[in-house]
Amino acid sequence: RRTTDFIPHPLRYFIEFAYNGTHYHGWQGQPDTPKTVQHALEQNLSMVLRTTLAVVGAGRTDAGVHARQQFAHFDFVGEILPHELVYKLNACLPKDIAVRNVIPVHEGAHARFDARRRTYEYHIHKRKDPFLEQLSFQYMHRLNVAAMNQAAQLLFNYNDFECFSKVKTDVGTFICQIFKAEWTETAYHLVFTISADRFLRNMVRAIVGTLIDVGLGKKTLADVTRIIESKDRNQAGFSVPAQGLYLTKIEYDYIPDTQD
């Protein structure tokens, strides 16, 4: 006589959260670096749900980079009350990480591969401001923002951005589709907003550094075209500091827009 034990099927959940990346070595967990956002989230999620859990993030952010909206998915056997889990996680997570939502999704949903659009912002402040020390890049040189916006428009002519990628990377392709790239300016602040289907390691910070060179008059529009076509990181501009970079939005076909 044979008996078959019933094995409960795990359900998949998306978790939406935000963080100030100042005190973390980036998103991705590393064996020799426990101070990562992924480690903090997994540790507290496992404690609250009383089982060891792993989360899969929508993408990596480097040390010091912030996220106003980030997603990850995890699998769990058992009932979850989303609002209750949000409350419990926020009660035990560090003050610089905040959970916004826990969302049941279909079992094939994937936080990284299903994201159809990601948006980053890079923030620059043009005068000394102690309240922005770790949250924006202080840069007080005069910049030609109109020229920087003209140069940003050149990005739409291409889809291979190897010239803006970290040199040592394990990606299989440097192809990205850019949907938006523009600078906005107020009296003392500059913000660069860029949206794409995917981003390469260090890509946004290298693009911003290159556009700053245009704003300084060090590079022309023709130079930017030449840089992109060269596929050579050494030809592009400097990589701006991490503290000005924010992951601000990730879009999925099956997740409603939850941002205010």
Q: Give one DSSP letter per residue of 104-158, joined into a string.
A: EE-TT--TTTT--EEEEEEEEESS--GGGTTTSEE--S---HHHHHHHHHGGGG-
Question: For residues 214 and 227, is the Cβ–Cβ distance under 8 A?
Answer: no
Strand partners of residue 62: none
Strand 245-251 relative to strand 189-196, pairing: unpaired
62 belongs to the catalytic site: yes
> How far apart are the C-alpha atoms of 202 and 204, rounded to whole Å?
6
Residue in the structure block whose two tokens are 């496992």: 46
From the number of C-beta atoms within 10 Å of its C-beta (0-12, 13-18, 19+), residue 18 rates as middle
User: Parallel, antiparallel, or unpaired for β 137-138 and 117-125?
Assistant: parallel
Contact predicate 132/58, CB 8 Å: no
Q: Which of 62, 223, 232, 253 is catalytic?
A: 62
* Unique residue bearing structure tokens 């523009």: 182
The residues that are catalytic are 62
